[in-house]
Amino acid sequence: MSKKEIFKYLIESNSSISIYQVVLAMLAALVLGLFMYFMYKKTYSGVVYSKGFNQTLVLLAVIVTMVMTIIGGSLALSLGMVGSLSVIRFRTAIKEPKDMAFLFWAIAIGLSCGAEMYVVAVVGSLVIGVVLLFFSRDAYDGNNYLIVVRGNGLDSEAIEKLIGENTRKWRVRMQNATGEHEEITYEAGLKMNNLSQFAKALKAIDGIEAVNVVTYTGEVVG
């Protein structure tokens, strides 16, 4: 087979795709993407929850499905798409290791739905969801918060006692000292609903000058 014949084969080797197939693939990717969105939010155990990243995962699943649908109908387009995607560089840092798994999950959903392998996409997503729920059983009770305490001569024992009374699990994330001032950052799963009251109780401890309680949304209380 000559080069001319090979080139002609690549150009003419197109398979027709119906609107029904496209809509079904996109809807399947969207539904599974929303399931992934729920699982990410439900099992997230970090400090700062990124709603934007979670929404991007859903969009990524749908976009990959669209790309797979395009290249699935033409061998020439598939080769051209590989060349185009090879020059893309992602510069956004992945802060949580588990986020990388969700990123690949979104891509897998897109690939499966784009190739019309819906059984693989559904069964695989359900298995991943069960595994995530299993590993998230020991997550903090309640919502996670970042508690930043600043002051002079901080009584860490009194601070940790108060935090311990309002949560089952907590840990020190960072401790800084600049001159006479100190700053301690805690991560805790607070069970109480009145965050302002908790912040005031912390501020009442001797030596504390400022208290910030940061939720996942970036909201500061106190």
DSSP 87: T
Write the burial class of residue 11 (CB in 10 Å: 0-12 exposed, 13-18 middle, 19+ buried).
exposed
User: What pLDDT, in 10s, does the model give residues 156-213?
Assistant: 888 888 888 877 678 888 888 887 788 988 888 776 566 778 888 888 888 888 888 8
Place of tokens 């996109």: 26
Strands 208-214 and 181-190: unpaired
- For residue range 6-39, what is the model confidence (pLDDT) as tens digits? 555 545 555 567 888 889 999 999 999 999 999 9
Alpha carbon distance 193, 205 (integer Å): 20
Per-residue pLDDT band for 110 (boundaries 50, 70, 90) equals: very high
Distance of alpha carbon 143 from alpha carbon 109, whole angstroms: 29
Task: List domains and CATH numbers for the chain.
Answer: 3-135 (no CATH), 143-221 (3.30.70.260)
Q: Does residue 64 carry a pLDDT above 80? A: yes
Is beta strand 181-190 parallel, antiparallel or unpaired with respect to 143-151?
A: antiparallel
146 token code pair: 């970042």
**CB within 8 Å of 195: residues ≥ 6 apart:** 145, 213, 215, 221, 222
Greatest extent of the chain over all pairs of C-alpha atoms, in Å: 86
- Rounded Cα distance between 161 and 13, Å, is 71
d(CA 120, CA 185): 43
How far is 65 from 115, CA to CA, in rounded Å?
8
> Model confidence at 218, in pLDDT bands (50, 70, 90)?
very low
φ, ψ (nearest 5 deg) of residue 143: -95, 145
Say if CB 203 and CB 213 are below 8 A apart.
Answer: no
Dihedral sign, CA of 43, 45, 46, 49? positive
Cβ neighbours for 155, distance < 8 A, ≥ 6 positions apart: 205, 206, 207
> Comparing 57-71, 84-98, 107-121, which segment has the lowest mean pLDDT?
84-98
* Kind plus residue range of the DSSP H or E element containing 26: helix 19-43
